[in-house]
């Protein structure tokens, strides 16, 4: 499955639009990671626990979107976007969406239909 954040895929032609596909996940902070993050704020640096949480969340949301695209018979998703939002204190949603399409190589030429 081809996944891009552009409207077109170089060398490919969109032959069918299957529709909007989306995936999301809501994750809560872990108390242990929260304590470690609080300590890290004192000295500065990357909050690795939160980075891992976001990587995991993006992977899960993307997987759900791709499963939906496959169910529709798509072989690509174009114009992919990610969004986040706070759900409650300590929990956030990661949302991904795009347009499921069927693409083929630009050089593939379909044979013209013949009339009988």
Q: Can you give the pLDDT of all 116 residues of the chain as single tens digits? A: 999 999 999 999 999 999 999 999 998 865 555 555 555 556 667 777 778 888 899 999 999 999 999 999 999 999 999 999 888 777 889 999 999 999 999 986 565 666 65
Instruction: Give the distance, in angstroms, between the CA of residue 46 and the centroid of all CA atoms in the same chain.
Output: 24
- How far CA 113 is from CA of 15, 104, 109, 116, in Å, comes to 17, 19, 12, 10
For the sheet with 2-3, list strands across it.
2-3, 76-88, 91-105, 12-28
CA distance 61 to 26: 9
Instruction: Give the distance, in angstroms, between the CA of residue 7 and the centroid of all CA atoms in the same chain.
Output: 15
Tokens for 58? Answer: 């993006």
Full-model pTM = 0.78
CA distance 66 to 103: 15
- Structural domains in the chain, CATH included, are 2-105 (3.30.110.70)
CA distance 114 to 77: 33
Q: What is the pLDDT of residue 88?
A: 79
């Amino acid at each position: 499955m081809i996944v891009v954040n552009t409207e077109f895929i170089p060398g490919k032609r969109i032959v069918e639009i299957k529709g909007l596909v989306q995936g999301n996940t809501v994750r809560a902070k872990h108390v242990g990671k929260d304590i470690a993050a609080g300590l890290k704020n004192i000295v500065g640096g990357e909050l690795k626990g939160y980075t891992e949480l976001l990587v995991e969340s993006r992977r899960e949301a993307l997987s759900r979107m791709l499963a939906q695209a496959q169910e529709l018979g798509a072989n690509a998703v174009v114009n992919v976007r990610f969004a986040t939002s706070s759900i409650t204190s300590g929990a956030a949603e990661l949302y991904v969406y795009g347009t499921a399409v069927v693409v083929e190589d630009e050089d593939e030429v379909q044979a013209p239909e013949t009339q009988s």
